[in-house]
Amino acid sequence: MRLTVLGGGGFRVPLVHRALLDDAQDPDSTGRRTELVLHDTDPGRLAAISAVLAEQADRRPGPAPAVRTTTDLDEALAGTDFVFSAIRVGGLAGRVRDEQLPLAEGLLGQETVGAGGVLYGLRTVPVATHIAERVAALAPQAWVINFTNPAGMVTEAMSRVLGDRVIGICDSPVGLCRRAARAVGADPDRADYDYVGLNHLGWLRRIVVDGTDRMPALLDDAAALESFEEGKLFGAEWLRALGALPNEYLHYYYHHREALGAIREADATRGEFLARQQEGFYAKLAGGAGTGGAFQAWDATRREREETYMAESREASGGWQRDSCDLDGGGYDRVALALMRAIARNERTTLILNVRNRHAVPGIDADAVVEVPCLVDAGGARPLATGPVAPDQLGLMLQLKAVERSTIEAAADNSPRAALRALALHPLVDSVHAARRVLEAAAHR
């Protein structure tokens, strides 16, 4: 079986490789028989990451996937079985501008939420659509697992070409679910989760263990509630008032003022921090030859990145530290592998994924990509009916879906009107005039 990773020189690729190595321990695993094809537009990054993977494989006994690298998209895609798309169009420099242009207008500057997310989407959708078209031409049977952000709108754009053959993933819902299950003393693998939303805009409504919903008891227990990341982030009082556990990205909505304040006060945006950090890592490994210690250099950088994740949000909500349980969310690499296994081996399982709604969420149209629990097997991922959604949640979902679709339209038709609509309709953009100025600044960058 062949797995093609687009964005194969990306910093998180060793996590996917590690998950394949873990999987390869199992005699009839997917990892054991996998050929890994890494595609990237930057040969230097490909060389650096290949060196990390080679050392990673050396450190492990047993079989490892064969690795091949290429900068040619068609060559990477031809005849492949699975495509992981994890690209960052415009690189981290693009992310920094997506953060800074809105901040200059007093608006939230964030990778996927608010004006920054719209700017990122405008740049990414055309590239993602082109990839979808090449997959349709060269590997029509392949499954595309999309983690390219903004994952909801990018998956929806790709689904217009690939239908249900593209499935979007994110690590934040599974992380929330597992942390909440542990907080009620349950085995995270034995609970059922009632989660509904769009990517980076969802709510965990029930945690069902042995037929009983443990959410009411969790909401009653302030100590348990504030023992894990989302509980600390939102605080027991608000979670009780809301009656559900929001995805960590809802922090930018529910605590918009504090989140914006913390980002403005920080010495650097998240993108600037990562750019500096990763520049160091890639520079160290430039050229690819003689890269002994590549894995250690990568691993040290990875730890630092994880520890600083959502640091401004933590600062804005009381300055608490992440602990090891908060870091163990299941990881996007493991979500990707679980999805690939379920499809390749027809092992039926339930995962929270981004797929077309069909009739799962009432009030949302059938073609809209939503993030909900799905039943996965060799036939792909089918969304499970969620039942009615509270008006405040449905309202936000509909509003954000309109923003996503305007962004897709703007990117597809090169339409300035649609771009203005996308930006100005975002609930975290408080002025049409500011939206227009952000677009003008983005056009001149």
In the complex with Mn ion, the residue whose CB is nearer, 200 or 341, is 200
Query: Which one among 149, 159, 301, 406 touches ligand G6P, defined by CB under 6 A?
Result: 149
Binding of ligand G6P by 183 (CB under 6 A): no
Nearer to Mn ion, 195 or 295 (CB): 195
Taking CB within 5 to 8 Å according to partner kind, which of Mn ion, ligand G6P, none is near residue 309? ligand G6P
Residue 57: both structure tokens together: 């494989």
418 sits near Mn ion (criterion: CB under 5 A): no
Cβ-based nearer residue to Mn ion, 12 or 33: 12
Q: Which of 147/234 has CB closer to Mn ion? A: 147
**Toward ligand G6P, which CB reaches closer, 75 or 304?**
304
Nearest approach, Cβ of residue 146 and Mn ion (Å): 11
Rule CB under 6 A: choose which of 33, 309, 322, 327 binds ligand G6P: 309
Q: How far is the CB of 373 from ligand G6P (least distance, A)?
A: 17
Residue 85 contacts ligand G6P per CB under 6 A: no
CB of 267 to ligand G6P, least distance (A): 16
- Contact pick of 170, 215, 340, 439 for Mn ion (by CB under 5 A): 170
Q: How far is CA 399 from the centre of its chain?
A: 20
Note whether 171 binds ligand G6P by CB under 6 A. yes
CB of 110 to ligand G6P, least distance (A): 9
Considering the rule CB under 6 A, would residue 146 count as an interface residue with ligand G6P? Answer: no
Kindly state the number of chain residues that form the binding site for ligand G6P, as judged by CB under 6 A.
10
* Shorter beta-carbon distance to ligand G6P: residue 111 or 404: 111
Residues 274-293 that bind ligand G6P (CB under 6 A): 274
Enumerate residues 93-112 that contact ligand G6P by CB under 6 A. Answer: 111
- Residue 355 touching Mn ion (CB under 5 A): no
Determine if the peptide bond prior to 388 is cis (ω within 30°). no
Owner of token pair 């879906």: 401
Q: Select from 33, 123, 305, 437 the one that contacts ligand G6P (CB under 6 A).
A: 305
Structure tokens at 52: 């990390």
Q: Does 123 bind ligand G6P (CB under 6 A)?
A: no
Instruction: Closer to ligand G6P by CB, 254 or 309: give it.
Output: 309
270 binds, among Mn ion, ligand G6P, none (CB under 5 to 8 A by kind): ligand G6P
- Tell me whether residue 89 or residue 170 sits nearer to ligand G6P (CB atom): 170
Choosing from 32, 39, 255, 270, the residue that interacts with ligand G6P (CB under 6 A) is 270
Which range in 122-130, 168-176, 253-261, 369-377 contacts ligand G6P by CB under 6 A? 168-176
- Our CA dihedral for 86, 92, 93, 94, rounded to 10 degrees, sits at 40
**Nearest to Mn ion of 170, 219 (CB atom):** 170
Quick one: what does residue 87 bind among ligand G6P, Mn ion, none, with the CB cut-off 5 to 8 Å set by partner type? none
Residue 13 in contact with ligand G6P, rule: CB under 6 A? no
Question: SS in 3 state form for the chain?
Answer: CEEEEECCCCCCHHHHHHHHHHHHCCCCCCHHHCEEEEECCCHHHHHHHHHHHHHHHHCCCCCCCEEEEECCHHHHHCCCCEEEECCCCCHHHHHHHHHHHHHHCCCCCCCCCHHHHHHHHHHHHHHHHHHHHHHHHHCCCCEEEECCCCHHHHHHHHHHHHHHHEEECCCHHHHHHHHHHHHCCCCHHHCEEEEEEECCEEEEEEEEECCEECHHHHHHCHHHHCCCHHHHHHCHHHHHHHCCEECHHHHHHHCHHHHHHHHHHCCCCHHHHHHHHHHHHHHHCCCCCCCCCHHHHHHHHHHHHHHHCCHHHHHHCCCCCCCHHHHCCCHHHHHHHHHHHHHHCCCCEEEEEEEECCCCCCCCCCCCEEEEEEEEECCEEEECCCCCCCHHHHHHHHHHHHHHHHHHHHHHHCCHHHHHHHHHCCCCCCCHHHHHHHHHHHHCC
Q: Does residue 295 come out as left (phi exceeding 0), alpha (psi in the -120 to 50 range) or beta?
A: alpha
Query: What does the alpha-carbon distance between residue 226 and residue 239 come to, in Å, rounded to a whole number?
Result: 10
We find the least distance from the C-beta atom of residue 165 to Mn ion, in angstroms, to be: 20
Contacts with ligand G6P by CB under 6 A lie at 111, 149, 170-172, 270, 274, 305, 309, 332
Q: Which residues bind Mn ion (CB under 5 A)?
A: 170
